[in-house]
Structure 1
Amino acid sequence: MTTCSDIGHNDIVMRKSTDGGRSRGPLKVVVGGADEDSHGNPAPVVDAAAGRVSLLYAAGPRSGKPGEPVRGHRSLRVVHSVDDGTGTRRSGCGWGSPVSGSGNRSTTPPPAREQT
C-alpha cells in the first residue's frame, strides 16, 4: 500500500458465517476483482421472504499518479444473490453481474406523483 486514500483499486469482499457468527468462512470478492475501478460504500439489503440479497455500491474509474489518485465519476451499481452469496447456484461467489444506474430493468414506468 502506497497511500491511505480510499481512492484506488478497492474491491468489495465478504465472509459468511453459518454458525451464528462464531466463525467465518473464507474471504470472497463480491465485486471488483476483475477490474481496476474503485468500489465502495456498500449497502446490503436482505429480502428474507424472497431469499435475495441485494448489494448497492458506488463504483467508478480513477486516474492520477501513484500516491496522488484522482476519483472519476462514480455511479450507483447493484448486484444480487439468490443463494446468500454462497455460490451454490452459480459458479464463483454466487453474485450476479453488476447493473449500473437505478438497477431497474422494468419497462413499466413508475406511478405518477401527486402534485401538492
Structure 2
Amino acid sequence: MAAIGGATQWQAVQQLAGVTEPGEAVQLPDLLFHQYCSEVFRINRGIYNTIDEWLYRSGYVTIIKRREAALSFLDYVNRQPQEGPGQSLRSIRFGQGGLTRLLQEYFAAH
C-alpha cells in the first residue's frame, strides 16, 4: 500500500472517515467509498464505476443498497481463486467481458 504522510491510504481513509467496519463504509462520501474499495479490494476507479452503474441499471437505485451489493459482490470475487501467485492483497482481474459476466452470475444466484 502506498504511504501518505507516514500512513497508508487505508489508514488515511480510516482517519478521515472514522471507518473501522465494512458496514460503516456504505455511509462514506463517494470519493472515500471508492478509496475504501480500492484499498480493500484493489480495484481501480473504472471497475468501481462499472460495478456501480451495472447495479444501478439492475434496480439498485438507492446508494446504500447499491454499495452493500457492491461490497458483497467484491467480497465474493475476492475469495475466488485466481490464476497466478497467491497474494493476500492482490488486484482483482476480470479480463475482457469478465466483470459483466461475473456480475450477472453472482446476482442471478443471490
* Richer in helix (by share): 2
TM (normalized to structure 2)? 0.26
TM-score (norm: length of structure 1): 0.26
Q: Higher strand share goes to which structure? A: 1
Q: Which has the higher contact order (CA 8 A, sep 6+)?
A: 2
Asked which structure has the greater CA Rg, the reply is 1
